[in-house]
Structure 1
């Protein structure tokens, strides 16, 4: 045993490992006996015992630094860590003088069970009780928080991530060019409608949530973390399996596109599913005259990713709606070529559980965000008149 850093000895006995419960300190007999056994064990290795003595002593004796410590040490508290696990991490990092001192501090502090998972910035050579106090204070988390709301696009997300991390937007754009390397499974890059998926497009995969970004992370690190959360959320929803059970034959990617559109078009949670159904009816039934979506939201998405400003529906020009250079224009048949936003849980659920209907039209009809649906164009025109009467600016 030449490398004493490889020692992985817990302070507590196996039967107590993982217990955070406050209890009285036990006598020193067991500790001394355990330490003596280690000495005997290492003694068989000859001189090597003296190399690792201080390391081993740090696990079994309750020596403590006087504090307050100096310098920096980044400590990672992982899910499932016990007081002993954290104590050993702190000891190895030079934060506490012994793992035993931290375990004792944890036993004496009833709040010790409230230490949260995450990365923390502590000092080296701290008094164990003060190290615990720092772990309990979320201000010492070695992270920057950023929130990705539902319905925004990747360019907006990169901007938020840049402001939170200090990393230039250009680095996020560069890192995002290969979503599969970031962790998006290959199954997401296929369609059943004959259209090709742009495999360099990360849109739709940046799951909306609040993230804690460890300081010193790279753009790639951050995007991988977000993609990992996307994968976890898709597993929770059983998204892929439920897509296969839909009454329309589509791929998970096509359902993701529908969810991203419903997220933007639907103002109320109750409308996410019904709007997804309208999108499926238009794109896949063959009964909608043009077989196209004819949505302002997809046109606006193209304007935004082209460096232009989105426009209110009543201000979009005919040449913009029907621009042949815009792959998201009014006249493109079938489901849009890609997601137009980052859909959240409600929109995703709506895309895999759309209520059956024969609706082909929908429109917001009041300031509350109520959506009205129609089977025919005449139905749609009546709903639009209601919207106009309620002050929704869609009448030209």
Structure 2
């Protein structure tokens, strides 16, 4: 779909009046009455010899109130003019077509919904259509790695819809369009079907200003489904990793938070799989501060750096995301983007069970044994990473 409207000034003949000698008084009167009748019906202008004799019917003022007008793909100047007349924005179609013909920027009007005023001067209405600030949309960017609660805060700020309404609408992800296949696991753990975490795909979105919280979340989930289909995520992880799509989504959400650099997201995902599924990691758990911090965040508490986390917080038996919980974490801890998702679906093969950030740029080092991990930690300490 083109973002610009293709104008053709159709429907308004620029009055190529033929100049003929009158054939008597009666014929001249009839001709004048005919012309005036046409002008009255069309509300348009009358041209003679390239000179405009009468102006198209137009409002004089800036207008008032609010009205929504839709510009559709393929609309001509006449189409838009008709919509404006019907909405009560301009007085005549001809006035808007005149304004569009006089303004070379009119070809740049973009497809979309606009908030205009009623009873406007046609030229002013044109300028409002050219100003994207008048589009009937709310625009918001959801970055990679934020939680659903952080997403709700951003959405509420952009749309004016209360956070409480997003929380209510988000309690049933399947009604929002998340397919049932995402609520199954192969490791025996039960999926919380009321948990929308992981399904709010990071991107920049535009929403109609009259959209509800449900409308907004449905758009985001629809994008999630489209991206997963494009990546062939579900089919790939099921066939190549022998795990459910949901478990891979969990891994992607953790890699998104743990890895600072894009190149580390896939290797981190492999470490998670090695710990959770191989049976070669002593506790068969993930032992991650990030999952503990997620639990703190969604319960209204501040996340803490590794050295400040209390043992009681890390091993809280009421926390399903606790440090020593068996297997892959119970649910996503963020909303991962494309790089993290690709890393989780196609991680490089390795025997690594440990990773740690080792420099100020965020690069990671990996180890097979705890002795390897300790050496990497010492390197990190030398580089000023506060983990010692």
Tell me, yes or no, whether TM beats 0.5: yes
The gaps in structure 1 that reach 5 residues or longer are 1-17, 30-55
Given candidates 70, 90, 95, the residue that maps to 1:96 is 90
Q: Please list every run of at least 4 consecutive aligned residues from structure 1 whose deviation after the TM superposition is greater than 6 angstroms.
A: 21-25, 56-59
Deviations 1:178-220 (A, max 9, x none): 1111222222222222211111011111122233343233222
Measure, in 2, the Cα distance between the counterparts of 1:256 and 1:57: 61
Measure, in 2, the Cα distance between the counterparts of 1:79 and 1:191: 44
The match for 2:22 is none
Given candidates 133, 136, 153, the residue that maps to 1:139 is 133
Q: Check conservation: 2:269, 2:347, Cα contact below 8 A.
A: yes
TM-aligned CA distance change 1:260 to 1:133, over 3 Å: same
The match for 2:149 is 155
TM-score normalised per structure 1: 0.79
Structure ID, larger Rg: 2
Shift of 1:80: 6.0
Given candidates 356, 365, 383, the residue that maps to 2:358 is 365
Given candidates 279, 287, 294, the residue that maps to 1:286 is 279
Measure, in 2, the Cα distance between the counterparts of 1:84 and 1:179: 43
TM-aligned CA distance change 1:97 to 1:242, over 3 Å: farther
The gaps in structure 2 that reach 5 residues or longer are 17-40, 47-54
Deviations 1:235-289 (A, max 9, x none): 33333333334x3112222221111111100101111111112112222223322
TM-aligned CA distance change 1:58 to 1:297, over 3 Å: farther
Measure, in 2, the Cα distance between the counterparts of 1:283 and 1:243: 15
Measure, in 1, the Cα distance between the counterparts of 2:113 and 2:152: 23
Counterpart of 1:217 in 2: which secondary structure?
coil
Measure, in 1, the Cα distance between the counterparts of 2:271 and 2:365: 12
Q: Check conservation: 1:328, 1:337, Cα contact below 8 A.
A: yes
Q: Check conservation: 1:96, 1:102, Cα contact below 8 A.
A: yes
The match for 2:187 is 193
What are the within-5 Å matches in structure 2 for residues 1-396 of structure 1?
19-20=6-7, 64-67=57-60, 68-78=62-72, 83=77, 86-99=80-93, 102=96, 105-106=99-100, 108-245=102-239, 247-395=240-388
How many residues end up aligned between the 2 structures?
350
CA RMSD of aligned residues (A): 2.9
TM-score normalised per structure 2: 0.80
Q: Check conservation: 2:200, 2:224, Cα contact below 8 A.
A: yes
TM-aligned CA distance change 1:190 to 1:112, over 3 Å: farther
